[in-house]
């Protein structure tokens, strides 16, 4: 079963409230988690995302793509990283998300659809 684990939060404001030791522990956890998932064969893809304040929004204006800044700085909780994993059970995905939740504001898990639904 493939799942996407999404980590929400705001890296900079998170960092404002934590200690150096906490960040060191978090870095160690992230590095180890990526290694473990790779070793177990469960990792499909993982990526951290640059801060939302550096994002741009693209929309069509008169049929032409126009890029603007945003989402805007007041967006406190945005997607900051994700893993796509292929795991045996729902229990495993809850376990993984739980480990990440210790370091994230909010973790959301969505199963990836691998076939169109039966109609």
Residue 71 binds another protein, judged by CB under 8 A: no
Rg for the chain, CA atoms, rounded = 17
83 within 8 A of 45, measured Cβ to Cβ: yes
Least distance (Å) between residue 78 CB and another protein: 12
Residue found under tokens 């150096």: 20
Complex with another protein: residue 54 or 89, whichever CB lies closer: 54
Residue 51 binds another protein, judged by CB under 8 A: yes
Stretch that binds another protein, among 1-9, 18-26, 96-104, 108-116 (CB under 8 A): 18-26
Beta strands in 20-117 (DSSP E): 43-48, 56-61, 64-69, 78-86, 106-111
- From 20, 26, 2, 24, select the one nearest 101 (Cα to Cα): 26
Token pair, residue 95, equals 């376990």
Return the residue of 39, 45, 50, 118 that touches another protein, per CB under 8 A: 50
Under DSSP, the state recorded for 114 is -
Complex with another protein: residue 20 or 91, whichever CB lies closer: 20
Residue 22 binds another protein, judged by CB under 8 A: yes
Least distance (Å) between residue 81 CB and another protein: 9
Q: Which positions lie near another protein, rule CB under 8 A? A: 11-12, 15-16, 18-20, 22-24, 27-28, 31, 34, 48, 50-51, 53-54
């Amino acid at each position: 079963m493939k799942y996407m684990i999404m980590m929400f939060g705001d890296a900079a404001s998170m960092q404002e409230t934590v200690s150096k030791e906490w960040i060191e522990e978090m870095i160690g956890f992230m590095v180890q988690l990526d290694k473990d998932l790779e070793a177990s064969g469960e990792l499909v893809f993982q990526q951290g995302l640059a801060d939302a304040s550096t994002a741009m929004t693209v929309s069509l204006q008169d049929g032409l793509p126009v890029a603007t800044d945003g989402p805007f700085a007041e967006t406190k909780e945005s997607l900051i990283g994700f893993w796509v994993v292929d795991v045996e059970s729902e229990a495993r995905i809850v376990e993984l998300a739980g480990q990440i939740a210790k370091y994230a504001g909010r973790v959301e898990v969505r199963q990836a659809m691998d076939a169109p639904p039966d109609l």
